[in-house]
Chain A
Amino acid sequence: MTHPDLSVVIPTRNRRASLERTLNALARQRLAANRFEAVVSMDGADEAGTRYLAAMNLPYHLTVVGSDAPRGAAAARNLGAASAQGELLLFLDDDVEADPGLLAEHVRAQHDGAHVTIGYLPPCLESGPADFFQRALRGWWEAMFDAMRLPGHRYWFRDFLTGNCAMSATLFERVGRFDEDFRCHEDYEFGVRVVADRAAMRFVEAASGIHHEQTTVSRAFERKREEGRADIQMLRKHPELVPSLPLGIFDAFSTRMQRLLRRLAFERPSAGRTLASLLARSLPLLESGRFRGRWMKRMHALLSYWYWRGITEEIPTLAGFAAFLRDCRSRSGWSPMILEVDLANGLELVKAQIDRRRPEGLRVVLNGVAVGDIAPVPGAEGLTGHHLEASLARELSGPLVAALGRSGAIPVDSADGAWIATGRVPSDSIRF
Chain B
Amino acid sequence: MPTAVVEVELKHRTAGLEVPGTYERAFVLLRWAGRPVGQLLLPVTRGRVAGSVLEEAVTHSVGWDFWKTWLYDSLGWDEADGPTPSVAAVRPRATVAVCTRERPNELARCLFALMALPDEGQEYLVVDNRPSTDATARVVASYPRVRYVRQDEGGLDAARNRALREARHEIVAFTDDDAFVDPGWLRGLTRNFRDPLVQCATGLTLPAELETDAQECFERYAPFGRGYARRIFDSAERNPMAVGPVGAGANMAVRRSLLETVGGFDEALDGGTPTRSGGDHEMFSRILAAGYRIVYDPAALSWHKHRRTYRELTETARGYGTGVYAMWTRALVVGRELSVFKQAFAWLRHGQIPELARSLVPGRRRVPLGLLVAEFRGCLSGPAAYFASRRAVRRRTPERWTGQGSPWRPRQRALRRT
Contact = CB atoms under 8 A, between A and B. Distances in A.
Contact of A421 (B60, B75, B335): B60
Contacts of B335: 290
Given A129-B413, A135-B291, A290-B339, A142 B197 contact: yes
Interface stretch (A86-94, A149-157, A172-180, A238-246): A149-157
B11 interface: yes
A429 interface: yes
Interface string B309-343: 00000000000000000000000000111110000
Interface string A265-290: 00000000000000000000000111
Contacts of B10: 425, 427
Interface residues of A, number: 49
A400 B59 contact: no
B74 A146 contact: no
Contacts of A48: none
Given A142-B196, A419-B67, A131 B62 contact: no
Given A149-B195, A390-B82, A429-B11, A130 B336 contact: no
B11 A139 contact: no
Which one of B68, B73, B239, B291 has the greatest number of beta carbons of chain A within 10 Å?
B291
B77 interface: yes
Contact of A401 (B67, B240, B291): B67
A389 B77 contact: yes
A2 to B, nearest CB: 34
B336 A288 contact: yes
Which label, helix, strand, loop or mixed, suits the secondary structure of the B interface?
Answer: loop
Contacts, number: 106
A393 interface: yes
Contact of B236 (A130, A296, A429): A296
Interface residues of B, number: 48
B364 interface: no
A393 B67 CA distance: 12
B63 interface: yes
A138 interface: yes
A293 B239 contact: yes
Contacts of B82: 150-152, 390
Nearest to A134: B291
Interface string B334-376: 0111110000000000000000000000000000000000000
Nearest to B414: A129
A400 B83 contact: no
A209 B291 CA distance: 21
Interface string B1-28: 0000000001111000000000000000
Given A149-B194, A425-B62, A130 B74 contact: no
B290 interface: yes
A408 interface: no
A290 B12 contact: no
Contacts of B63: 418-419
Contact of A292 (B70, B194, B240): B240
A138 B291 contact: yes
15 contacts: A130-B414, A135-B235, A151-B83, A151-B87, A205-B88, A290-B337, A290-B338, A389-B75, A410-B67, A410-B70, A412-B67, A419-B62, A421-B60, A424-B59, A425-B55
Closest 5 pairs (CB-CB, A-B): A151-B82, A129-B414, A135-B291, A429-B74, A393-B77
Given A151-B83, A429-B73, 19 more contacts: A129-B417, A139-B197, A139-B291, A146-B197, A150-B82, A151-B81, A151-B87, A290-B335, A290-B336, A389-B77, A390-B82, A418-B63, A419-B67, A423-B59, A425-B55, A427-B11, A427-B12, A432-B74, A432-B75
